[in-house]
Amino acid sequence: MAKTKKLCAFLLRFLAFGATLSAAIVMATSRETTTVFNVSYEAKYSNTPAFKFFFIANAIGSVYSLIVLLLPLWGELRRFVMVLDVIVTMLLTSGVSAALAIAYVGKKGNSHAGWLPICGQVTDFCDHVTGALIAGFAGVIIYLLVLLCQSIHTVFNPLLVLKT
């Protein structure tokens, strides 16, 4: 039973590593140049602070996942990792939320503020951002599952947590 729990936790952390790493890579490679009314402009993730935050949050999440995958979890380190899991989950959630808000404005525009949608002109850029957001959402969901599994394990084995 203990091996099954460890295997499940390892698999979830590995999936979280893959999701956050792919979200960071796809966002970092999102770039397109287009010309509108003889004016050329380049759309890239680093033009928007929310996309930069999304990239940094996913990069931190992937590095953290890799470190936790490589470390053996014993005693106090396990509790510290649980706290860090909550922090990383919140960081990823806020990064996805900020990037989604900007992506929505890029897709639909905002008539009240006079912002026009840009996804009609830079479709490849918007497709990259959409892919990064999907991978980012997957990372958040996987981290929520990691937290849920840890919580269930703690509730059903409270003495085990106190001993370690």
Under 8 Å between Cβ of 34 and 41 = yes
How many domains, the chain?
A: 1
Q: Does 59 reside within a domain?
A: yes
CA distance linking residue 75 with residue 70, whole number of Å = 16
- The three-point CA angle 105-129-35 to 5° equals 75
Reported as a single tens digit per residue, the pLDDT across 87-117 is 999 999 999 999 999 999 988 888 888 788 8
Q: Does 49 reside within a domain?
A: yes
Q: By residue range, what is the domain housing residue 40?
A: 1-156
Buried b (16+ CB within 10 A) or exposed e, 79-114: eebbeebeebbebbbebbebbbebbebbeebeeeee
Looking at residue 116, its pLDDT comes to 83
CA distance linking residue 25 with residue 132, whole number of Å = 8
Percentage above 90 pLDDT, the chain: 49
Reported as a single tens digit per residue, the pLDDT across 63-75 is 999 999 888 766 6
Q: Does 34 reside within a domain?
A: yes
Q: Does 162 reside within a domain?
A: no
Banded model confidence at residue 4, pLDDT cuts 50, 70, 90 = confident
Q: Does 112 reside within a domain?
A: yes
Residue 105: closest CA among 50, 62, 145, 156: 50
